[in-house]
Amino acid sequence: MKNSKVFKFSTALLLGISIIGTFSGCSSKEPKGEAVNVRVGYFPNITHSQPLVGRDQGTFQKAIGSSRLETI
């Protein structure tokens, strides 16, 4: 009997935290249009090929728009 109460409470608590976490990332505010610097850090070797390809093909710049891309 006690275990079922603990299970129900734990389930409800985790569900509540999940819902709060999901909706806390939602925002109706529009960006103000200010350009910002976006830094992408990576190791320039074969194990970090995604940033190399994204930088060379320009997909990062397309995704961030008018903001300035810095690779370090």
Please write the tens of the pLDDT for every residue from 31-69.
Answer: 666 778 888 888 878 788 888 888 889 888 888 888 888
The model carries a pTM of: 0.44
| Beta bridge pairs of residue 38 | 69
Q: How confident is the model at residue 14 (pLDDT cuts 50, 70, 90)?
A: very high
Comparing CA positions, the residue from 47, 40, 37 lying closest to residue 71 is 40
Q: In whole angstroms, what is the distance from residue 61 CA to residue 68 CA?
A: 8
Number of domains present in the structure of the chain: 1
**The domain containing residue 34 runs over which residues?**
2-71
In this predicted structure, what is the pLDDT of residue 55?
Answer: 85
Q: DSSP letters of 1-12?
A: -HHHHHHHHHHH
Q: How confident is the model at residue 13 (pLDDT cuts 50, 70, 90)?
A: very high
In this predicted structure, what is the pLDDT of residue 33?
Answer: 64
Which residues are CB-contacts of 1 (< 8 A; sequence separation ≥ 6)? none
